[in-house]
Amino acid sequence: MLNKANLKEANLIGANLSGAELKDSEVTNTKFSSNSPGMTEELKQNLIQRRAIFQNSLEEPLILTPVHR
């Protein structure tokens, strides 16, 4: 469980997020990959809203997502 963890600017590309709870975690500029185990579309959209950064594979550049305030 990673609930309320400070993951700000962490590199979690390739991390297995199966069962992870990121509800109140700080994920600003945290790097994730879209195809990580446990990464659902719902979780991805939630993390994007919270200013996370996504990369689809190790070969692709990071996809910076605009922040809507």
pLDDT surpasses 90 at 65: no
- DSSP run (H or E) holding 13: none
pTM of the model: 0.75
> Residue 68: CB partners within 8 Å, gap ≥ 6?
49
pLDDT surpasses 70 at 67: no
- For residues 1 and 18, the answer to whether their CB atoms sit within 8 Å is no
Q: What is the pLDDT of residue 6?
A: 95
The b-or-e profile of 47-63 (16+ CB within 10 A means b, else e) is bbeebbbbbeeeeeeee
What pLDDT, in 10s, does the model give residues 5-62? Answer: 999 999 999 899 998 889 899 999 999 998 889 999 999 999 999 999 997 655 555 5
